């Protein structure tokens, strides 16, 4: 007599009849005489029996049989599992009957466009010529989805697996962008928002790129919040509609500033800034500072640009400086007053397949007047006051930006080269050509530091330690540039251990290195080293340097910067906004 278990539950009546036949009228549990397997051709019996609990010599246990059948089935090699209970002298023989899955002949993918089929097969451990194992293949499919998800295609899924004999077909659904719906904006023009979302209808949805685009949208300063919803049209699992809901905020601000410097004395002023003028994404900036360094300015610009859209800016500024220091060969020669009126207009555009190249051309008209030389040292050297007058120049800058656009910190490099041509024929007093090039490089150090200290609780992937470096070299076609056009080093943006304009001339070389170490989310420490020189007929083997430490604090007004430099003329401290480069 045989009892049959068809992957699920052993029929109770059958088990009772077998137990009565084998155990007698007393109803004692029959003894298992032997345990075996039949029906397997590729999978060894030892491998199959390795997961069963029923052993020869055990009393027959229905719950054990059920667990054994489930364990064999869960090995993944079989489409069908039975148990045959056969009467034997002194008890029962337990024989597990299995039906193996087909031999894999080929695996094909449909619907995949991000990766070629041969690339997906690298994630598949199932081999042609082996028995198909649904458990192993499920892990293969998980690895394929993980590959998509790791690269940002988080909506991709395996829609269906079809097995016909040994032919396995995997259908992959890669959702593409449908409609992009923008709502909640009352002031900001929809096109201004839409141009920051570079995804187009029909593009594959990638969450990494989309998150970066949302970050740029938030970084405009137009919105308190940006929420994203997703919707799939009925019957179209391959389409993903994006719904952006924005909450606008006030984009105009009035600022009051007060400052004091050992050289500049007490100063203060008012600024008015509107970063979304007319809802067009244009920026308006008007302000003034009063004091020994009085400044008045107004600029109006459209900073956004791509391959189809020009960025532009217009502006005027007027400086009225009193009791400024003039240095020559690191020695203060005298004090002077200066007025400087400047009017400029610029236009630029991106180009290149990845839009990582850009150009920007600026026309500048400047009227400079140096006067009232006083507090001069004996036998002072004056290479300044004869250079006043009008200057008309054009400046062309080319930039290659290879920073990673999908990170919220700088990684990669920016290279730019600039040419400035002053033209006397157009009403200026000077003719000269200046040219300089600069490279800025940013490298996260988390992986390097992880080999030295445990960084998991200190610096995250989103807020890493950064090595930042800058190198700049420049020259000109004439030996004696006008004072306002000379390369100048010294101060908070170049050589922090020296007075501003300590080194000036037709040639320049500058290097800056910073290690930026986050301490908290909104607070970081910086160690820095500066080296450089500028002058006429400069000795390219002689450089001046300094080192120091700094603090960076993120605030609603922007990042505050405090640097303390050692070396050069004297120890110096600087306060400002943003990073130096």
Element holding 549 (H helix, E strand) = strand 544-555
Q: For the residues 463-491, what does the mean pLDDT come to? A: 94
Nearest to 306 by CA among 221, 411, 194, 388: 194
What confidence tens digit (pLDDT) does each residue in 279-299 have? Answer: 999 999 999 989 888 999 999
What confidence tens digit (pLDDT) does each residue in 49-61 have? Answer: 999 999 999 999 9
Q: For the residues 339-359, what does the mean pLDDT come to? A: 96
| The pLDDT of residue 461 is above 80 | no
Q: For the residues 376-400, what does the mean pLDDT come to? A: 95
Q: For the residues 401-405, what does the mean pLDDT come to? A: 89
What confidence tens digit (pLDDT) does each residue in 130-169 have? Answer: 999 999 999 999 999 999 999 999 999 999 999 999 999 9
Element holding 566 (H helix, E strand) = strand 558-566
Q: For the residues 420-428, what does the mean pLDDT come to? A: 94
pLDDT at 2: 39
| The pLDDT of residue 264 is above 60 | no
Nearest to 358 by CA among 373, 348, 345, 370: 348
What confidence tens digit (pLDDT) does each residue in 222-236 have? Answer: 999 999 999 999 888
Distance, CA of 322 to CA of 414 (rounded, Å): 37
pLDDT at 535: 92
pLDDT at 17: 45
Q: How many CB atoms lie within 10 A of CB 379?
A: 6
The domain 106-173 is placed in CATH, from the list 3.10.20.310, 3.40.50.80, 3.40.1710.10, 3.40.50.10490, at 3.10.20.310
Find which of 182-196, 404-418, 564-578 is predicted with most confidence, using mean pLDDT.
182-196
Q: How many CB atoms lie within 10 A of CB 239?
A: 17
Do the domains at 2-100 and 106-173 have one common CATH topology? yes
The domain 176-248 is placed in CATH, from the list 1.10.10.10, 3.10.20.310, 3.90.226.10, 3.30.465.10, at 3.10.20.310
| The pLDDT of residue 25 is above 50 | no
Output the CA–CA distances (angstroms, integers) from residue 398 to 358, 362, 417, in the order listed.
6, 12, 5
| The pLDDT of residue 100 is above 70 | yes
What confidence tens digit (pLDDT) does each residue in 70-94 have? Answer: 999 999 999 999 999 999 999 999 9
pLDDT at 9: 37
Q: For the residues 257-279, what does the mean pLDDT come to? A: 77
What confidence tens digit (pLDDT) does each residue in 519-536 have? Answer: 888 899 999 999 999 999
pLDDT, averaged across the chain = 89
Structural domain spans, the chain: 2-100, 106-173, 176-248, 250-289, 304-577
pTM beyond 0.85, yes or no: no
Give the CA count within 13 Å in the CB-facing half-sphere of 438.
20
548 class by beta-carbon count within 10 Å (0-12 exposed, 13-18 middle, 19+ buried) = buried
Instruction: Fold for 2-100, please state it.
Output: Ubiquitin-like (UB roll) (3.10.20)
Give percent of the chain above pLDDT 70.
Answer: 91
CB 266 within 8 A of CB 205: no
Distance, CA of 142 to CA of 139 (rounded, Å): 5
CB 33 within 8 A of CB 90: yes
| Local structure of residue 200 (DSSP, 8 states) | -
Partners of 38 in the beta sheet?
97
pLDDT at 574: 86
pLDDT at 41: 94
| Local structure of residue 28 (DSSP, 8 states) | P
pLDDT at 10: 39
The domain 304-577 is placed in CATH, from the list 2.40.50.220, 1.10.1610.10, 1.10.287.1080, 2.40.160.50, at 2.40.160.50
Contacts of 322 (CB under 8 A, 6+ apart): 292, 293, 294, 337
| The pLDDT of residue 108 is above 50 | yes
């Amino acid at each position: 007599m045989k009892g049959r278990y068809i992957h699920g539950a052993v029929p109770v009546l059958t088990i009772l009849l077998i137990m009565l036949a084998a155990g007698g009228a007393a109803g004692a549990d029959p003894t298992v005489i032997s345990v075996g397997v039949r029906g397997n051709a590729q999978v060894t019996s030892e491998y199959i029996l390795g997961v069963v609990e029923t052993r020869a010599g055990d009393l027959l246990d229905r719950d054990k049989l059920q667990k054994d059948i489930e364990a064999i089935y869960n090995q993944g090699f079989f489409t069908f599992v039975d148990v045959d209970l056969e009467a034997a002298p002194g008890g029962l023989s337990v024989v597990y009957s299995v039906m193996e899955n087909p031999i894999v002949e080929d695996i094909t993918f449909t619907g995949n466009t991000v990766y070629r089929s041969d690339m997906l097969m690298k994630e598949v451990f199932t081999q042609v010529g082996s028995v198909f194992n649904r458990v192993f293949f499920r892990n293969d499919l998980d690895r394929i989805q993980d590959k998509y998800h790791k690269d940002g295609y988080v909506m991709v899924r395996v829609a269906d697996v079809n097995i016909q004999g040994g032919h396995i077909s995997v259908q992959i659904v890669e959702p593409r962008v449908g409609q992009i719906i923008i709502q909640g904006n009352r002031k900001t023009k929809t096109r201004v928002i839409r141009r920051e979302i570079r995804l187009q209808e029909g593009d594959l949805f990638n969450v990494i790129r989309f998150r970066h685009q949302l970050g740029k949208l938030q970084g405009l300063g137009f919105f308190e919040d940006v929420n994203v919803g997703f919707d799939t049209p009925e019957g179209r699992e391959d389409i993903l509609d994006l719904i952006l809901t924005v909450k606008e905020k006030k984009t105009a601000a009035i600022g009051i500033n007060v400052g004091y410097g050992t050289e500049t004395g007490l100063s203060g002023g008012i600024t008015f800034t509107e970063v979304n003028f007319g809802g067009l994404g244009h920026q308006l900036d008007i302000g003034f500072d009063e004091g020994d360094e009085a400044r008045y300015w107004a600029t109006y610009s459209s900073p956004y640009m791509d391959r189809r859209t020009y960025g532009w800016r217009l502006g005027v500024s007027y400086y009225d400086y009193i009791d400024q220091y003039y240095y020559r060969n690191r020695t203060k020669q005298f004090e002077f007053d200066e007025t400087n009126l400047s009017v400029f207009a610029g236009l630029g555009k991106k180009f290149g397949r990845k839009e990582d190249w850009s150009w920007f051309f600026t026309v500048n008209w400047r009227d400079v007047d140096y006067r009232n030389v006083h507090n001069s040292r004996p036998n002072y050297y004056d290479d300044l006051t004869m250079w006043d007058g009008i200057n008309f120049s054009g400046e062309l800058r080319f930039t290659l930006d290879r920073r990673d656009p999908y990170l919220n910190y700088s990684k990669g490099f920016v290279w730019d080269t600039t040419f400035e041509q002053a033209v006397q024929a157009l009403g200026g007093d000077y003719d000269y050509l200046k040219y300089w090039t600069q490279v800025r490089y940013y490298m996260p150090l988390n992986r390097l530091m992880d080999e030295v200290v445990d960084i998991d609780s200190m610096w995250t992937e989103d807020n890493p330690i950064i090595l930042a470096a800058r190198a700049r070299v420049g020259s000109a076609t004439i030996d004696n540039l006008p004072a306002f056009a000379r390369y100048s080093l010294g101060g908070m943006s170049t050589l922090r251990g020296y007075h501003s304009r300590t080194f000036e001339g037709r040639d320049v070389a500058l290097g800056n290195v910073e290690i930026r170490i986050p301490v908290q989310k909104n607070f970081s420490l910086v160690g820095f080293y500066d080296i450089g020189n500028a002058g006429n007929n400069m000795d390219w083997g002689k450089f001046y340097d300094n080192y120091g430490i700094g603090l960076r604090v993120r605030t609603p007004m922007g990042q505050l910067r405090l640097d303390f430099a050692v070396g050069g003329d004297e120890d110096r401290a600087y306060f400002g906004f943003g990073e130096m480069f």
